[in-house]
Structure 1
Amino acid sequence: METCRYPLLNPTDSWGVMSMLALIVPGIEYRYREEGGDARTVWLLHSDGSWARATATEFLGSPVVHQGGPRRLWRELQRIRNWLNRQGELPVYGARVTINPEGEMTLSRGSWSVTV
């Protein structure tokens, strides 16, 4: 269990954050529930057994996060939010795309790159 430094974000409400997360950890499923008042919960689920659940009881309050499995999905999400806050935008915007003869695609911008 840990407390997150940012208010709760439903990744499906933020195209850039969700897109970056999909490039870094493909195959995440998202669930979201409002529980009355400002209480909300977000789940990130992956077929490799990784999962994260974040719950906030106040609109701008720090969520409490539980996660398990081989990867820490919420930490990946927070790395993306850190990047966004430091740089002002995510590297997926304006990324250069190269495709090799085997059909493998690489997106890159600055020091960031991902191969799909």
Structure 2
Amino acid sequence: MVELNTPQLDAVFHALGDATRRQMLRELAQADRTVGELAAPFAISLAAASKHVKALENAGLIRREVRGRTHVCHLNPGPLASANEWLRYYEAFWTVRLDLLDELLQQEHPPVSSPPKGDTP
């Protein structure tokens, strides 16, 4: 099981907690982008886009390559695996509990079968 209190996992969830950063990751899943290209779909400044990119970098979700004055961002999906593993643990936890609840509800209120059509008075 994945460690619950790791700084990287905290950084990943922090980065994923913002819709702008999630959209930036989606764009990077399609192809590498410059910081300017990542900023373009949003009504934000280049400085604001750089702060979002920095949060993604701190989480290890992207890496930035400097080519002269251009910063090209590449997706690094590895840290998403740890977040997915953490979430899957709780998915299993809730699946078991909801299945038990369903069984209890079925025992208390068994499904009522409908009379066959044509047999009603």
Larger Rg: 2
Greater strand fraction, Structure 1 or Structure 2: 1
Short-chain TM bin = under 0.3
TM-score by length of structure 1 reads 0.24
TM-score by length of structure 2 reads 0.24
